[in-house]
């Protein structure tokens, strides 16, 4: 984990408040919790000082508060109000002033990736502020996305409404006739569910909903894991997408390991799936520490990646996975 973290910190990409780095630094913080490395902690604090603890520019877009997950994690360590206040301010504006996302799409979190970017921030604020209204807001917005995008037959999320197939069977499909379910998109959802369940109080009335969804998706994803331990970019048409994809596989490995460690995934299939995925993910890491085979930024399954393809969110997913795999007993 240290080798991978060091390599990625030495090879930055994108604006520091970009969603890509929101995912990366979530993994970096998990690596710090695992290793207690001063180098990693210093890099996290330097990030916040560089950004002045500000989110991205769009107050109503989940991508632009993903970086706030890291700010809030650091606030819990340092109790420095500067690390908290900008996130409180942007969420307050978001909850009181509908913005372009709702105006253009009808709901705030209209794409499944948003379920990793936004809900963990609100859930963390609910705990930090001891204010259940943040949990209520999370729940309201999350269920809107769930009702729109979750497929109850496949137990997976469509990336957004443009990938839904209507009752007549009309809509985008893979070459084998299956519906399009993107690996990384569902990985985002799984990673977000881990964060929500890690924060939501044990007796909260919505906890059974998230637990059931997590277990349902976990069981389906294990069925879709390929023999090499990885998931293909398109979950239901793996043969058309040769080569495992690191970012979706990393988030899935992370979520399955967390679920196993916390007693939510008790079937005999889960630990072997985690172990196989982790071995395979390590096979995607170069000698220098670069996580390869990461699909570039996009919204659907693609074949445009190789051993040389890397992205900061792929590294973040790898670090999150490692932070849970190391706890397996």
Contacts for 201 with CB less than 8 Å, ≥ 6 apart: 127, 135, 207
Only one residue has tokens 């996290």, namely 44
User: What value, to the nearest 5°, has the Cα angle with vertex 164 and ends 215 and 241?
Assistant: 75
Instruction: Answer yes or no: 228 catalytic.
Output: no
**Inter-residue contact 125 to 88 (CB < 8 Å):** yes
Which is nearest to 255 in space by CA: 285, 222, 223, 282? 222
**Inter-residue contact 89 to 125 (CB < 8 Å):** no
Residue 277 belongs to what H/E stretch? helix 270-282
Residue 41 tokens read as 């902690």
- What are the phi and psi torsion angles at 253 (to 5°)? -60, -45
| Residue 151 three-state SS | strand
Residue 74 tokens read as 């650091």
Instruction: Give the separation between CA 243 and CA 36, rounded to whole angstroms.
Output: 34
- Provide the pairing of β-strand 150-151 with 156-157: antiparallel
**Is 175 exposed, middle or buried (CB count within 10 Å of its CB: 0-12, 13-18, 19+)?**
exposed
Under DSSP, the state recorded for 296 is: P
Which of 63, 64, 113, 139 is catalytic? The answer is 113
Residues acting as catalytic residues? 113
């Amino acid at each position: 984990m240290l080798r991978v973290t060091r390599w990625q910190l030495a090879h930055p990409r994108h604006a520091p408040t970009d969603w890509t780095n929101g995912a990366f630094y979530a993994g970096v913080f998990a690596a710090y919790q695992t290793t207690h490395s001063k180098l990693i902690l210093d890099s996290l604090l330097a990030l916040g000082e560089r950004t002045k603890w500000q989110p991205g520019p769009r107050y109503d877009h989940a991508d632009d508060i993903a970086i706030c997950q890291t700010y809030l994690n650091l606030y819990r360590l340092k109790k420095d109000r500067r690390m908290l206040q900008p996130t409180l301010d942007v969420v307050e504006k978001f909850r009181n002033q509908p913005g372009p996302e709702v105006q253009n799409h009808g709901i705030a979190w209209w794409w499944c990736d948003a379920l990793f970017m936004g809900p963990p921030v609100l859930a963390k604020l609910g705990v930090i502020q001891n204010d259940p209204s943040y949990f209520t807001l999370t729940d309201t917005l999350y269920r809107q996305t769930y009702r729109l995008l979750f497929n109850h037959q496949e137990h997976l999320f469509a990336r957004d409404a443009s990938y839904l197939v209507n009752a007549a069977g009309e809509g985008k499909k893979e070459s084998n006739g299956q519906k399009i379910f993107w690996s990384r998109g569902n990985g985002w959802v799984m990673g977000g569910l881990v964060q929500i369940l890690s924060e939501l109080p044990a007796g909260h009335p919505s906890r059974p909903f998230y637990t059931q969804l997590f277990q349902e998706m976990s069981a389906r994803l294990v069925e879709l894991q390929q023999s090499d331990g990885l998931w293909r970019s398109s979950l239901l048409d793996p043969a058309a997408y040769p080569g495992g994809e690191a970012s979706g596989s990393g988030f899935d490995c992370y979520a399955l390991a967390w679920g196993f460690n916390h007693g939510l995934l008790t079937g005999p299939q889960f630990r072997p799936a985690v172990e196989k995925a982790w071995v395979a993910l390590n096979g995607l890491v170069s000698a220098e520490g670069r996580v390869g085979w990461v699909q570039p930024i996009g919204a659907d399954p693609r074949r445009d990646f190789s051993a040389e393809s890397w992205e900061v969110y792929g590294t973040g997913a790898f670090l999150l996975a490692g932070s849970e795999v190391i706890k397996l007993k």
